Amino acid sequence: MTRPPLPVDLLDLDRNGHLLDTDGRTTVPDTDIAKHLERHLRLREDATDIFVFVHGWRTKPEDALTHARTLFSHVETLAAAQPHAYQGLRGFRPQYVAVRWPSRDTKLLPTDYDPVKKRTQTMSAHGHVPRVLGTILGYLNTHRDTPEPGPETLTTAYGQYLHCIGHSFGSRVLLHGILEATKRLIEGGPDTLAGDFAHSTYPWTLDSLTLFQAALPADTFASDPFTKILNPNVLNAPIAMTYSPSDTALGKLHTRKEDQVAVGYLGASAPPDHIAQITLLDTATPYSFPRGKRLINVDASKLYTAKKLFVGAHSDFYHLESAHLLLSLADSARQ
């Protein structure tokens, strides 16, 4: 018997970062974004964790949903296979959201690197992506049961947790959205179990952020705009960032275009005081995440080794080990 496809809520953006209606053509006015989400992104009351995935460079529209389902299917498989490995995820009932955006410009590599990079910057820095993503994150927060500390006898919190995942250029999109959400939410205090990066200025928190093979310069967190992510903001967790020297797109191509390698090639390089280093682990080995460091480089060089023409291992992260990282971060958010 064929299993039904994994349910994933899909949100589409146009070339300017506007949210599209379900017809894939009509732009949703800014004033109607919240109503659109209310109609088409119904947060389940029984969900314990909400995962938002933003895909990366050169993802065909028809592949975006497939890729999200592949990644999240690994999460489902591993959570069911070894619940003992994630003690804080008792009764784990996730809900998945995929944000789809136009991330390719031509059929040829590497001719679309510059136009897609420019589009990403325009959509994010000067367009509507920050507002849309900020509204999406705000909507999810408003409708979720915000995590709160459990009884003193417990070590975990309860409630609905919010996790974001970006790949390649999608990492830029997510970071801009987080900074925009931070700017817009400046009153109140968090009702969450305080983590290393909790701050009373912000009324809610994003509970984990994972960037797979991020298309960001290695020193990106040492200069504007992304150095602001090191300041107090809605992200109450470190940023976990995988890297692999087998990622040709972020090695040779990124170096030629940006005059330096990318985070997803050798990891973030600056500022050094904020960086910790770990290795992507096999699914049987538990993580012990560094405390007090905002940036965590995750060495995936032994697993992300594909040799696809032009891009190498750039999209070689759809593995159970990647799901183990996501689940471990979700588990860590409870502690």
pLDDT at 304 over 90: yes
Q: In 3D, which of 168, 329, 125 has the Cα closest to residue 263?
A: 168
Distance of alpha carbon 276 from its chain centroid, rounded?
Answer: 19
Percent above pLDDT 70 for the chain: 78
18 — pLDDT class (breaks 50, 70, 90): confident
pLDDT at 155 over 80: no
- The structural domains of the chain, with segments of one domain joined by +, span 9-332
pLDDT at 200 over 90: no
195 — pLDDT class (breaks 50, 70, 90): low
What is the C-alpha to C-alpha distance for residues 145 and 140, in angstroms, rounded to an integer? 10
| 170 CB-near residues (< 8 Å, 6+ apart) | 53, 54, 55, 56, 99, 101, 103
Section 139-155 average pLDDT = 56
Q: In 3D, which of 18, 314, 17, 11 has the Cα closest to residue 173?
A: 17
pTM of the model: 0.88
pLDDT at 156 over 60: no
| 75 CB-near residues (< 8 Å, 6+ apart) | 51, 94, 323, 326, 327
